[in-house]
Amino acid sequence: MRRLIVVGAFVMTALLPVTAQNWTPPRTPWGDPDLQGLWPSFHLLSVPLERPVALGKKATLTDEEFARLPSQSRVPGGNDVFNQGGSRALAMEHGTPQRQTSLIVDPPDGRLPPLTEEGKRRAAALPTVSGLYAGAESFNGLERCVSRGALGSMFPVGSTNGNQIVQAPGLVVLLNEMVHEARLIPVNGRPHLGANIRSYMGDSRGRWEGQTLVVETTNFNDASNRIGRHPSFTRDARLMERFTRIDADTLRYEATVNDPRTWTHSWTVAFPLKRDPNYQLFEYACHEANYSMSHMLRGAHLGEN
């Protein structure tokens, strides 16, 4: 089991030693901050997307609360598709105890903001876990092995949680192990694609603000980034991400979602990723040739006749 020890995000600067807060990252040969490396997220599986209501605005656990956590935590995280019991749960990766109480850091209660009226209608139309799946379109992008979306691909999930950053002059490449995504992020001022070009991963454009890589992603389709039982992003969504290497082995990730058709206001996640040079990215073949889809639909409709 791959294990890492990390500290909470967003309040992370308060927990880091002064040397880490003032640390200056190395540079690539062409002068950009060097963010390259393997940054898996499986250690954060114990941190849920939304904070438990009972914790209110408590972003991190106290020493006493942290000491009471089990040595190996398993709490539903940003994507709960694998958080099931039985043998399947045993096959999944597990998180390690964290002080951070939710991936969401804004709003201050660590919860998703209220849905708009349109968002509520779309949420009500989502298939339920126990409901009937009418066809392939009833499954989300991850269940169909199509895509988790730009934000969804950064969230910890039951297995294959690798992330790798590779850089070249004018370009940053972000590889996500699950669903085998490769996001190409120009950092040379190239404009966004035309509004008529849409995709699950959207269109990403980056720029450097000091030591931080700032990435703006637009041009989503209307079926991208469906996380757990929450509605997908709409094509009006805008994702702003910030990647900051705060010490030799820690990359702070922050992302703000602004989708006025789905949520009444924006929301932000933040968490630390730890470098693991021993991690290996494996091919994510998912269910080869999509055989699983026909099996799942056959099982869902078995009792109809």
Report pLDDT for 126. 84
Q: In a 3-state reduction of DSSP, which class is residue 132?
A: coil
Report pLDDT for 131. 60
Q: Which residue has the higher pLDDT, 209 or 7?
A: 209
Contact between 156 and 95 under an 8 Å Cβ cutoff? The reply is: yes
Strands (E), 27-118: 37-38, 104-106
Q: Which two tokens stand for residue 196?
A: 């008529």
Q: What is the DSSP letter of 293?
A: H
Report pLDDT for 176. 95
Contact between 103 and 267 under an 8 Å Cβ cutoff? The reply is: no
Q: Is the preceding omega at residue 107 within 30 degrees of 0, hence cis?
A: yes
Rounded Cα distance between 189 and 205, Å, is 8
Global pTM? 0.85
Q: Which two tokens stand for residue 157?
A: 């999930």
Contact between 192 and 239 under an 8 Å Cβ cutoff? The reply is: no
Torsion angle in degrees (nearest 10) through CA of 179, 35, 248, 159:
0
Report pLDDT for 18. 40
Rounded Cα distance between 84 and 289, Å, is 25
Quick: pLDDT tens for 171-212. Answer: 999 999 998 899 999 999 999 999 999 999 999 999 999 999
C-beta atoms surrounding 245 within 10 Å = 25
Indicate the burial class of 288 (C-beta count within 10 angstroms; 0-12, 13-18, 19 or more): exposed
Is the pLDDT confidence value at 85 over 60? no
Over residues 224-247, mean pLDDT: 92
Rounded Cα distance between 211 and 251, Å, is 11
Find the range with the poorest average confidence among 43-52, 98-107, 274-283, 288-297. 288-297
Find the range with the poorest average confidence among 62-76, 122-136, 142-156. 62-76
Rounded Cα distance between 24 and 4, Å, is 23
Is the pLDDT confidence value at 266 over 90? yes
Average pLDDT score, the chain: 84
Report pLDDT for 137. 73
C-beta atoms surrounding 86 within 10 Å = 7
Torsion angle in degrees (nearest 10) through CA of 55, 247, 250, 7:
-20
Question: Who contacts 240 (Cβ-Cβ below 8 Å, separation ≥6)?
Answer: 214, 215, 216, 217, 255, 256, 258
